[in-house]
Amino acid sequence: MRKTEVIYLVGPMGAGKSTIGKLLADSLNMEFYDVDREIEERAGVDIPWIFDMEGEEGFREREAQMLSDLSESPGAIVSTGGGAVLRDDNRALMMTRGTVVYLRTSVDEQIRRTAKDRKRPLLQQGNPEETLRRLMAEREPLYLQLADYSITTDQRSPRTVVQELVEKIRSGDLSS
């Protein structure tokens, strides 16, 4: 791992970043931070409210600030939002201050995992499948550019994914 020992989990919504992040932090005895949950805690309101009141740009500002704050937490696992990779500054920060793990999942799996979730503002308008396909086309090149290591989460339990990640981290083999 890089000098700060922050591990950033990136990937689309429904990839398992929060679930895998918590399990990984427990397995490695590290702190876990979910950027979205930290934003909600600091703001005192949920993400959909922030999107309604401030728009996506307002949310992205809060996200960038939170990523910057959390990058100062050595020994942490940080689960990012799916769109955190959209800003050049966020990508540069993650690449220079930690190790980036891309949790890959298919759009079909995303649809299955997010079907009943009403707390995802980007899926509340229009056709969710079309939205997920558009977001994947836009963001996957950024996830791949950023990733030190990629792992597929489709058809795998979070514990299985975490076991593989722990082995890679302990062996010093977190490189694509």
Domain count, the chain: 1
- Residue 70 token pair: 């959390």
In a domain, 54, yes or no: yes
Strands (E), 35-163: 76-79, 98-104, 149-152
In a domain, 176, yes or no: no
- The pLDDT of residue 3 is 41
State which residues form the domain around 50.
6-171
The residue assigned the tokens 């499948």 is 129
131: CATH:
3.40.50.300
The kind and range of the H/E element at 158 are helix 158-171
- The pLDDT of residue 171 is 84
Tell me how far apart the alpha carbons of residues 113 and 158 are, in angstroms, rounded to a whole number: 13
- The pLDDT of residue 124 is 58
What is the residue type of 28? L
pLDDT < 70: residue spans in the chain: 1-4, 113-126, 175-176
- The pLDDT of residue 137 is 93
- The pLDDT of residue 37 is 94
In a domain, 110, yes or no: yes
- The pLDDT of residue 2 is 44
